[in-house]
Amino acid sequence: MIKAIYFDMDGTIADLYAVENWLPKLRALDPSPYAEAAPLVRLSTLARRLNRLQRNGYKIGIVSWLSKEPNPYYDEAVTEAKVAWLNRHLPSVAWDEIHIVAYGTPKQEVVDMPEGILFDDEEKNRAEWTGTAYDVENILDILKGLL
């Protein structure tokens, strides 16, 4: 069994789409919505479960897309904002992998263990994933079942 778990960020663990004016800001190359996004799951519980899963041999990673508006400077700012979000909201998690890649990149092509588990809000990403994929419902319950 492949023991790896990956998370998308936007719409999966970070509520980007609830940030006021998120789309106009992204179109204006403003990375602030990525930093301002509220958590979508109880992060203290998520962190405890991820740390326990790591102690049990799971690799834990992030695989998230950049904005649809590619620009090298903006891509760097978005990457910094997403990593800062992870550091602020999940500081106790020592991620084994963090991949923040161009919008539309097949996620299974950039991770170390594509046969692992993916949590992602986009159906297309789940359908293309080569391992087991889940939507955003019941993330904590699914993780608890792996313990």
Domains, the chain, in order of start with CATH, read 4-146 (3.40.50.1000)
The pLDDT assigned to 147 comes to: 84
Using only C-alpha atoms, the chain has a radius of gyration, in whole angstroms, of 15
Q: How far apart are CA 112 and CA 114, in angstroms?
A: 6
The pLDDT assigned to 122 comes to: 94
The pLDDT assigned to 65 comes to: 95
104: pLDDT strictly greater than 70: yes
Burial 7-28 (b: 16+ CB within 10 A, else e): bbbbbbbbbbeebeebeebbee
Digit-coded pLDDT (tens) for 34-91? 999 999 999 999 999 999 999 999 999 999 999 887 789 999 999 999 999 999 999 9
pLDDT category of residue 107 using cuts at 50, 70 and 90:
very high
Distance (Å) of CA 68 to CA 26, 74, 128, 137: 8, 11, 19, 25
